């Protein structure tokens, strides 16, 4: 058994978790009063959001939510849906900190959790258990294990109390976000929160993730480029997911690989995305780069973490194939009709708003209309989409929340675009999309 790194105990009870947020609110309030008094004394007229979102308070919020883990840590990412690119910079900074600040459970708490899920003498049933997690995220942490038979496994252990606290955590953190004044009152925040709760409850159900993992693995069987873990059912419970361990380098390390490798990897991932939406109708919707690894020895792409896997309804799948065709044909009228049917725009929206949404859709598919290899590394596509999204939101007053399925499709595609940009990939996107075009 290896030694673990120090960690902070996850608060498990409802009172303890609410108390953490209450204490956080108290410290922030004290800071607001102190700063506000100081600014008034110098003749300035402070704003509430300006007093709340100071560097010190941003650090306090991020650190406290990272300590609580669970929904309290993840809600901001789910509210943003796109990693915060369309949110005010103060809130985006909190989200960025939360993506990197997960802390592992201390060893004593981990032993207690596994004793409850497996058996009190569980350590005697394994040859090796690494108490230092190989990954720690918002809902659970992953450990490397060797069984008595010599099999190498990855064991994902859910933080205690996370599942029971999802609804309360989401509501409490949403209250902090509302108080900050950073989210306009026109935004249908409750719809987003309800979707976030449903998504988090699914991610916290490890039996569901095990089924999704097995289903996705079966669908990918013909595509040997991908390697996907296999569930070990005998060690899997509601809050412990056991699967085969697969080693590889983080995909972002491919920035130093040859152009050919980078292009081939991204082409495979883009093709897989189209298969997910149009063929599998099963989308692994979390674009976190930690979910992708690469093994140079046999040129394998390893796919991890299927907690955020979503079934894509027939109507959504067909609608997005129509959007893809409309973009390829530069048919703005067809795109507008399809966007209306999908709920991306509403009948109540003005012609200017509808045109702006269609323009964003067309721009997002620029690479599909490009002849030959599209150079994502030298493209400012992401900047253009960001600017167009901000203009739609603020200049055209477009505070509309699309259906959850659409949001998760956009989120996954946006993550792939960012990865392609980071890797400097060049791909013939028209050829990649060809199987799904007329």
Do residues 263 and 425 make contact, with C-beta atoms less than 8 angstroms apart? yes
The CA-based dihedral angle spanning residues 175, 85, 341, 215, taken in that order and rounded to the nearest 10 degrees: -90
What distances in angstroms separate CA 264 from CA 101, 261, 286, 300, 324, one per listed residue?
32, 5, 21, 11, 22
**263, 286, 305, 405: the active-site residue:** 286
Q: Tell me the C-alpha distance between 397 and 31, whole Å.
A: 33
- CA neighbor of 192 nearest in space, from 206, 176, 209, 171: 171
**How many beta carbons lie within 10 A of that of residue 60, not counting itself?**
18
The two three-digit tokens of residue 383, written as one number? 């900047």
- CA neighbor of 243 nearest in space, from 144, 315, 330, 339: 144
Do residues 368 and 331 make contact, with C-beta atoms less than 8 angstroms apart? no
171 catalytic per annotation: no
Q: Tell me the C-alpha distance between 336 and 57, whole Å.
A: 43
Q: Tell me the C-alpha distance between 266 and 271, whole Å.
A: 8
Residues with a catalytic annotation lie at 286
């Amino acid at each position: 058994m290896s030694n673990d790194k120090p960690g902070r105990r996850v608060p498990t009870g409802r009172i303890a978790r609410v108390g953490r947020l209450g204490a956080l609110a108290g410290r922030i309030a004290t800071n607001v009063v102190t700063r506000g008094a100081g600014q008034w004394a110098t003749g300035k007229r402070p704003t509430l959001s300006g007093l709340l979102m100071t560097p010190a308070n941003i650090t306090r919020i991020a650190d406290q939510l990272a300590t609580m883990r669970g929904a309290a840590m993840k809600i901001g990412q789910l509210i943003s849906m796109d990693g915060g690119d369309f949110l005010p910079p103060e809130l985006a900074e909190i989200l960025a900190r939360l993506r990197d600040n997960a802390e592992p459970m201390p060893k004593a708490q981990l032993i207690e959790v596994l004793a409850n899920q497996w058996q009190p003498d569980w350590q005697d049933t394994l040859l090796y258990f690494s108490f230092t997690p190989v990954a720690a995220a918002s809902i659970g942490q992953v450990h490397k294990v060797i069984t008595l038979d010599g099999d190498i496994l990855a064991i994902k252990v859910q933080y205690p109390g996370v599942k029971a606290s999802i609804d309360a955590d989401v509501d409490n953190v949403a209250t902090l976000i509302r108080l900050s004044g950073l989210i306009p009152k026109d935004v249908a925040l409750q719809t987003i929160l309800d979707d976030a709760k449903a998504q988090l409850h699914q991610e916290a159900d490890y039996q569901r993730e095990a089924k999704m993992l097995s289903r996705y693995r079966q669908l990918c069987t013909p595509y040997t480029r991908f390697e996907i873990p296999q569930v070990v059912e005998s060690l899997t419970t509601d809050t412990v997911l056991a699967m085969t361990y697969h080693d590889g380098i983080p995909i972002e390390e491919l920035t130093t690989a040859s152009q050919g490798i980078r292009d081939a990897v991204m082409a495979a991932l883009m093709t897989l995305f189209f298969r997910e939406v149009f063929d599998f109708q099963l989308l692994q919707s979390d674009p976190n780069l930690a979910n992708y690894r690469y093994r140079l020895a046999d040129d394998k792409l390893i796919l991890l973490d299927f907690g955020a896997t979503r079934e894509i309804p027939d109507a959504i799948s067909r609608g997005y194939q129509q959007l893809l065709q409309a973009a390829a044909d530069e048919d703005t009228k067809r795109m507008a009709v399809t966007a209306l049917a999908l709920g991306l725009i509403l009948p109540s929206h003005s012609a200017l708003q509808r045109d702006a949404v269609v323009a964003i859709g067309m721009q997002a598919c620029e690479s599909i209309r490009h002849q030959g290899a599209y150079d994502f590394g030298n493209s400012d596509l992401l900047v253009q989409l960001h600017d167009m999204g901000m203009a739609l939101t603020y200049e055209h007053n477009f505070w509309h929340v699309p259906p959850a399925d659409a949001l998760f499709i956009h989120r996954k595609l946006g993550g792939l675009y960012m990865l392609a940009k980071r890797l400097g990939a060049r791909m013939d996107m028209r050829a990649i999309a060809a199987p799904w075009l007329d």
